[in-house]
């Protein structure tokens, strides 16, 4: 052993170590609006909703302004620390996700160091018929432009009686709605689901839609999301029912819960409303008879229904808002 180095390590080698990767983390990386536009264009090509694309742009430009369009890893960390302290877990996660996309677009090697945080599961919300009915009546009693009012009423009634998602409703066009046969066509590219589907609405919704179509002036999208949000902002008391702030997204929740309360088939509900039913598969008594592990297997291989049979099943379940 060298007496000058009793530890066996040369003192010259005991200086703070900086890896090449660590040096990259300290370097400032510049970007511009075109980089953000590239990300937005990718999402447009993937047919993401306008509201989703707008949110990406808003959050990334907030980051850009905070770091003056250049950053290193420390800048990202400081920015996200501030957001974590002031935002909900779900909103904070969006910042992390969108900044990851930015780093990937810039080919920054440490993009995967931004681990996506876990988001607590939302509180279980139960929506029942009297709550939906009260929101519709509150909207009905508003003294506002009739087109704006009946746009919102129609959207809420569609969500409650057809199970459509908010983005599916706001993307509907006149040709997607067969008013006489109470049928909705959810086209490919207007839904999260990879397959097109048909669903239905009841006679109550049919009557409201008929009136709305008579007064609809075509100046805005048929179910303009901004128009509905305007009512949220200007008349929040309309939506406060049963201790909750009811939104259009809750109408799909009501449809799914009411379908189950009325004994509707899980597989048929999946055909009508789309989405996943993994959490509820264990509740389907038909599994005990067929031996299938999941409802998904039945839908892929066995359970096919034509639109006319689906409408009969839908009507038999009999979801209504006003008795």
pLDDT tens for 35-48 read 999 999 999 998 88
Maximum mean pLDDT: which of 23-32, 45-54, 95-104: 95-104
Residue 179 lies in a domain: yes
* Phi, psi for residue 256 in degrees, rounded to 5: -65, -45
Higher pLDDT, 48 or 193: 48
Residue 175 lies in a domain: yes
Among 92-96, 161-165, 269-273, 292-296, which is the least confidently predicted range?
A: 292-296
The pLDDT mean for the chain works out to 84
Residue 171 lies in a domain: yes
Confidence of residue 276 (pLDDT cuts 50, 70, 90): low
- Listed residues 60, 86, 113: the one ending a domain: 113
Same domain, 99 and 140: no
pLDDT tens for 15-35 read 433 445 567 778 899 999 999
Same domain, 78 and 181: no
Distance (Å, rounded) from C-alpha 200 to C-alpha 203?
10
- What average pLDDT does the segment 110-139 reach? 92
Q: Pick from 193, 194, 177: which is nearest to 185 by CA?
A: 177
By residue range, what is the domain housing residue 77? 23-113
Two structure tokens written together for 245: 């702030």
In this predicted structure, the answer to whether residue 7 has a pLDDT above a threshold of 70 is no
Residue 7 lies in a domain: no
Same domain, 108 and 135: no
Same domain, 144 and 242: yes
Indicate whether this model's pTM tops 0.85.
no
Percentage above 90 pLDDT, the chain: 62
Same domain, 133 and 102: no
Distance (Å, rounded) from C-alpha 296 to C-alpha 308?
22
Same domain, 108 and 185: no
Same domain, 179 and 214: yes
Residue 240 forms beta bridges with which residues? Answer: 245
In this predicted structure, the answer to whether residue 287 has a pLDDT above a threshold of 60 is no
- What average pLDDT does the segment 158-185 reach? 94
Can you give the CATH number for the domain in which 223 is found? 1.10.443
Q: What's the total number of domains in the chain? A: 2
Same domain, 248 and 297: yes
- Listed residues 113, 147, 173: the one ending a domain: 113
Q: Tokens 């809750």 identify what position?
A: 250
């Amino acid at each position: 052993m060298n007496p000058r180095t009793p530890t066996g390590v040369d003192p010259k080698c005991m200086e703070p170590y900086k890896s090449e990767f660590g040096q990259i983390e300290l370097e400032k990386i510049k970007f511009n609006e075109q980089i953000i536009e590239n990300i937005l264009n990718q999402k447009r090509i993937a047919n993401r909703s306008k509201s989703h694309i707008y949110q990406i742009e808003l959050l990334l430009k907030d980051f850009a302004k905070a770091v003056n369009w250049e950053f290193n890893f420390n800048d990202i960390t400081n920015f996200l620390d501030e957001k974590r302290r002031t935002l909900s877990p779900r909103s904070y996660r969006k910042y992390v996700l969108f900044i990851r996309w930015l780093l990937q677009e810039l080919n920054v090697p440490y993009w995967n160091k931004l681990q996506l945080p876990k988001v607590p599961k939302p509180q279980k919300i139960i929506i029942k018929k009297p709550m939906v009915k009260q929101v519709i009546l509150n909207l009905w009693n508003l003294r506002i432009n009739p087109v704006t009012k009946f746009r919102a009423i129609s959207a809420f009634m569609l969500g409650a009686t057809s199970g459509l998602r908010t983005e599916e409703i706001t993307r509907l066009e006149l040709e997607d709605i067969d008013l006489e046969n109470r049928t909705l066509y959810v086209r490919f590219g207007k839904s999260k689901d990879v397959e097109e589907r048909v669903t239905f609405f009841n006679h109550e919704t049919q009557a409201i839609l008929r009136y709305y179509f008579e007064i609809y002036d075509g100046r805005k999208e048929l179910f303009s999301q901004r128009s509905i949000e305007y009512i949220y902002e200007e008349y929040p008391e309309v939506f406060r029912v049963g201790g909750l702030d009811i939104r259009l997204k809750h109408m799909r929740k009501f449809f799914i819960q009411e379908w189950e309360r009325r004994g509707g088939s899980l597989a048929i509900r999946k055909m009508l409303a789309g989405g996943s039913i993994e959490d509820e598969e264990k509740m389907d008594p038909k599994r005990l008879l067929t031996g299938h592990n999941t409802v998904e297997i039945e839908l892929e291989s066995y359970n096919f229904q034509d639109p006319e049979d689906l409408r009969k099943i839908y009507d038999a379940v009999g979801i209504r808002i006003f008795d």
